[in-house]
Amino acid sequence: MKTIRMKRFIDLADFSREQVLDLLRLAQALQDKPQPHALVNKVLGLVFFNPSLRTLASFQAAMARLGGSSFVITPGQGTWQLETQPHAIMKGAAAEHIREGIPALASYCDVLGVRAFADGKSLEGDLNESLFRMIEELCEKPLVNMESAMNHPCQALADWRTLDELQVPMRAKFVLSWAYHPKALPLAVPSATVHMAAMRGMDVVVLRPEGYALPEQVMEKARLAARNSGGSVSETSDRYTALTGASVLYAKEWGTTTYYGDSEADSKLRADLSDWCVREPWFQGTLPDAKLMHCLPVRRNVAVAEEILDGPRAVVKRQAFNRLPVQMAVLHRMLA
Amino acid sequence: MKTIRMKRFIDLADFSREQVLDLLRLAQALQDKPQPHALVNKVLGLVFFNPSLRTLASFQAAMARLGGSSFVITPGQGTWQLETQPHAIMKGAAAEHIREGIPALASYCDVLGVRAFADGKSLEGDLNESLFRMIEELCEKPLVNMESAMNHPCQALADWRTLDELQVPMRAKFVLSWAYHPKALPLAVPSATVHMAAMRGMDVVVLRPEGYALPEQVMEKARLAARNSGGSVSETSDRYTALTGASVLYAKEWGTTTYYGDSEADSKLRADLSDWCVREPWFQGTLPDAKLMHCLPVRRNVAVAEEILDGPRAVVKRQAFNRLPVQMAVLHRMLA
Amino acid sequence: MKTIRMKRFIDLADFSREQVLDLLRLAQALQDKPQPHALVNKVLGLVFFNPSLRTLASFQAAMARLGGSSFVITPGQGTWQLETQPHAIMKGAAAEHIREGIPALASYCDVLGVRAFADGKSLEGDLNESLFRMIEELCEKPLVNMESAMNHPCQALADWRTLDELQVPMRAKFVLSWAYHPKALPLAVPSATVHMAAMRGMDVVVLRPEGYALPEQVMEKARLAARNSGGSVSETSDRYTALTGASVLYAKEWGTTTYYGDSEADSKLRADLSDWCVREPWFQGTLPDAKLMHCLPVRRNVAVAEEILDGPRAVVKRQAFNRLPVQMAVLHRMLA
């Protein structure tokens, strides 16, 4: 891998475990010994179909620390809306199609990063990453997934680095738990997280209420990763069982999969679930120093109580910071 | 020209044909042999009164590839609205006047780029470029027109380069055709395009339905350019006549000039014109390998059919890409 | 100071007069002899809870001119809204709390700049800078106040430099005058200005209509600065008395302090005050070449007449420009 330039960073599953470890070593190497001129004159284009805070700031900072530059395009804000439907008759709000927009933007830069959340209507379409696959086809330059319908590989890589820094053992128990949120959120982070933890070799438990089981394809992909790494993957709706002996509680909000795309059904289903706000009692059966992870943004006292976020269990700031070094490694592999 | 710094890039008509060719040679030279430190520490200020995709990305990338930097100001988004009316009593939404705003921004940078579309109310005012002339007076730094009421010289220069790359002969037939769009769009690109093609020496035909003739001043300016270059300029509403023998079909949407600024009259007029969507049959009488040009953004299956945009005739992506090298040449001439 | 890195630039009152003069000397030195590589690979993060024009452009340009880079975050535009209330139960519009957001952003950059206007509800809370103090606690990196509830030290430093450039004597009469505006504006600039002028050693008069006296804490802070510098601070609602013999008229709009946060009461109070638009007759008793200062943005013919803004008295463009060199000095002291 060291001598091959990476062209795509779309899904951690596209890489071997050894390749991921190599990226993490590069992240560390760039932190230990900065390469301030590695990407001089290189340009990163960033396209945000959806809002961002960490992703925008950490990618722009990553390029700057390697000597490069970046530009930001936000369809609908400063740029017109971009149509994504194939064969659209474009009489609506969108003035341009991604079939023109993406190739044009790609032609100006050396690597393109795109954030494009799930459509949230068809589970099959979202599982198939139909939008991101189109973008991939349209982009002749190296491409980074800054969160797609069902994936968030930059977050997954940052989280892996965080687990390593915390010296959480490979075979430790990692619980991905559903958490309450007023609205249905996409499946990208939970899907990426369960796969990442399985690929790292952990004993992964997905804890979620009825109606919020992760799609079978997501679970099967994680199980496959676990088989290769020596880890395991299971799921339950029993909080106590799930958390007993856990080293990590990774909290995340997501929408119903049983009634995918039906926001009314989702609202009814989650109406009684506001007690899925992570609080200290959740950690009764965990290892004493069990950690709380979350990809952020997090709604305080709704998804996770402030007593946790402000206490020693929370490692969310370190997760956020780790976006920077791992993305520097990805950009370096693509362009240096 | 090589030893004189350019202070303004407002209108291709401000330059001789030889000066334009020199800029195009510089664009090629910078592509063949990058000058990654030519504009180190130089700053480009970008002011967008109107939305942008290519323009923002290609200007920021252009500065970065020459070693410089840029900042972006979007009045109304992150910055308050800027008043443009002289002698305004500013009790309305705008918190600042361009008489203060433009000089302040210009003082921070080495070159300012401004996008300010037509007011769309007074044809005379727009033809006179009353707003851009004010901006020009207010800006003591080199200034780039990133699309004004009646001009878009960066697009015109990129299109000239595209024609050269395609080896379209100087005397070939170049048809600028009106195309359907749900709304009246400004005259900037058609005006710049007809002039550019005439200045290049082409046989230019403007094809448009009744009510959409380009203003006489625009046509006269193009005819003057044609006289100097050996080209010609004519206009018609007959599609077949216009396109017979054409090498290039440049499609563009614009609003009625007969009822300029009257959106209701424009709506009525265009109600029957939705068949002005460029499709393959339009090319029956053209040269076999005739090309389709468009400045983008383009509404698929409304202004141009996808069979054309996805086929071999369309060179719109190359036009978009060429914004980068020609703008690098302009910035280089201004600052290096 | 020359050997100590500055960690905070929050309030001019945190520095000695000698330290301020040293910053101004550094601003001049950087102008006379640019240091284009001083901040190579350094990253400035800019967070704008409120709109900006000069501040964004001048900070991005300042970093670029010193060889560094910057990124911009605008909560609510491209980034979700950020909650600022401690202990909020986050069921509303804000998706993230500053307790997570600020540390994450700070972790990506070398210095963070934050603009966060007054809440405008509690005068005591705003005087205490309750929000900015929270941000200060959350930010482990050097921090720049880009305008807080009651302060705007970058503007104050730029204004000080402008006064020096104009060779306005230290003991000259400096009148900060209230000016009309349709709405109640924050107290940040008037508070910073009265303190800056007093700290410079000037004879400061605050001229304002009834109901718009600056808070006693603001006046007392300015008086303390005057005692140390040899200047003086007084206030009046009598325009003629205030302006007699003045060298500088600094116009600024602000909201009522008598009915702080009560926009209805403020509207009534200012209904009769539209003659507080600075016009030439205001200068009848001033020194002949008295100057008009304003921090911008200014509403023409509402707060200040265009005859003044377009005439020789106005030095507002120089004030605006001076944001660049003084901010370069601040960033240099923090990072070089």
Look at A107 and B320 and tell me if their CB atoms are within 8 Å.
Answer: yes
Q: Examine the pLDDT at A2 and tell me if it is beyond 90.
A: no
Q: Examine the pLDDT at C3 and tell me if it is beyond 90.
A: no
Banded pLDDT at A5 (limits 50, 70, 90) = confident
Quote the distance between the C-alpha of residue A252 and its chain's center. Answer: 11
Residues of A in contact with C79 (CB under 8 A): 51-53, 56
- The pLDDT value recorded for residue B282 is 98
Q: Examine the pLDDT at A183 and tell me if it is beyond 50.
A: yes
Q: Which chains neighbour C (Cβ–Cβ under 8 Å, 3 or more pairs)? A: A, B
Over range B270-274, report the average pLDDT: 96
Rounded distance, CA C2 to CA B234, Å? 70
Handedness of CA A241, A244, A247, A252 (dihedral sign): positive
DSSP for A136-173 reads HHH--S-EEESS-SS--HHHHHHHHHHHHHTT--TTSE
Q: Note whether A33 contacts B: Cβ–Cβ < 8 A.
A: no
Locate B289 and state its tokens: 């390998």
Banded pLDDT at C4 (limits 50, 70, 90) = low
- Burial-class residue C289 by CB neighbours within 10 Å (0-12, 13-18, 19+): exposed
Locate C247 and state its tokens: 């060298």
Q: What is the pLDDT of residues B204-240, one digit of tens each?
A: 999 999 999 999 999 999 999 999 999 999 999 999 9
Over range B237-260, report the average pLDDT: 98
Banded pLDDT at A4 (limits 50, 70, 90) = low
Residues of A in contact with C90 (CB under 8 A): 299-302
| Residues B236 and B242: beta-carbon distance below 8 Å | yes
Over range C145-165, report the average pLDDT: 98
Amino acid at site C101: G
Look at B89 and C320 and tell me if their CB atoms are within 8 Å.
Answer: no
What b/e sequence results for C133-167 when a residue is b if at least 16 CB atoms lie within 10 Å of its CB, and e otherwise? ebbbebbebbbbbbbbbbbbbbbbbbbbbbbbeee
Over range A210-231, report the average pLDDT: 98
- The pLDDT value recorded for residue B5 is 79
Q: What is the pLDDT of residues B165-193, one digit of tens each?
A: 999 999 999 999 999 999 999 999 999 99
Peptide bond into A103 cis (omega under 30): no
Peptide bond into C297 cis (omega under 30): yes
The number of beta carbons lying within 10 Å of the beta carbon of residue A158 is: 27
- Please give the share of chain B, as a percent, with pLDDT higher than 70: 99
Q: What is the pLDDT of residues B138-149, one digit of tens each?
A: 999 999 999 999
- The pLDDT value recorded for residue C5 is 79
Closest CA to C207 of C217, C196, C193: C193
If you measure CA to CA, which chain A residue comes closest to C45? A57
Residues of C in contact with A34 (CB under 8 A): 41
Homologous superfamily assigned to B167-314:
Aspartate/ornithine carbamoyltransferase (3.40.50.1370)
Q: Which chains neighbour B (Cβ–Cβ under 8 Å, 3 or more pairs)? A: A, C
Locate A269 and state its tokens: 């289903």
Q: Examine the pLDDT at B1 and tell me if it is beyond 60.
A: no
B272: helix, coil or strand? coil
Q: Note whether B306 contacts A: Cβ–Cβ < 8 A.
A: yes
Rounded distance, CA B87 to CA C107, Å? 47
Mean residue pLDDT of chain B comes to 97
ipTM exceeding 0.95, yes/no: yes
Q: Is pTM beyond 0.95 here?
A: yes
Over range B7-11, report the average pLDDT: 97
CB-closest option in A57, A182, A300 to C105:
A57
Q: What is the pLDDT of residues A146-172, one digit of tens each?
A: 999 999 999 999 999 999 999 999 999
| Residues C174 and C205: beta-carbon distance below 8 Å | yes
Q: List the CATH code of the domain at A8-151+322-335.
A: 3.40.50.1370
Rounded distance, CA B166 to CA B290, Å? 11
Compare C2 and A58 and report the one with higher pLDDT: A58
Q: What is the pLDDT of residues C282-326, one digit of tens each?
A: 999 999 999 999 999 999 999 999 999 999 999 999 999 999 999
- The pLDDT value recorded for residue B326 is 98
Rounded distance, CA B85 to CA B83, Å? 6
Over range A317-335, report the average pLDDT: 98
Interface of A with B in 61-120 (CB under 8 A): 68-69, 71, 73, 77-80, 83, 87-91, 95-97, 99-101, 103-105, 107-109
Q: How many CB pairs under 8 A join A and C?
A: 103
Q: Examine the pLDDT at A91 and tell me if it is beyond 80.
A: yes
Look at B97 and C54 and tell me if their CB atoms are within 8 Å.
Answer: no
Look at A104 and B321 and tell me if their CB atoms are within 8 Å.
Answer: yes
Mean residue pLDDT of chain A comes to 97
Rounded distance, CA C152 to CA C144, Å? 10
Over range A168-184, report the average pLDDT: 97
Locate C3 and state its tokens: 């050997």
Q: Chain A closest CA to C309's CA: distance in Å?
A: 31
Look at C300 and B88 and tell me if their CB atoms are within 8 Å.
Answer: yes
Q: Chain A closest CA to C73's CA: distance in Å?
A: 7
Banded pLDDT at B2 (limits 50, 70, 90) = very low
| Residues A144 and A106: beta-carbon distance below 8 Å | no
In chain A, the DSSP E strands lie at: 8-9, 43-48, 69-73, 82-83, 96-97, 111-115, 143-145, 173-178, 203-207, 232-236, 248-252, 291-293
Rounded distance, CA C200 to CA C226, Å? 8
- Domain ranges in chain B are 8-151+322-335, 167-314
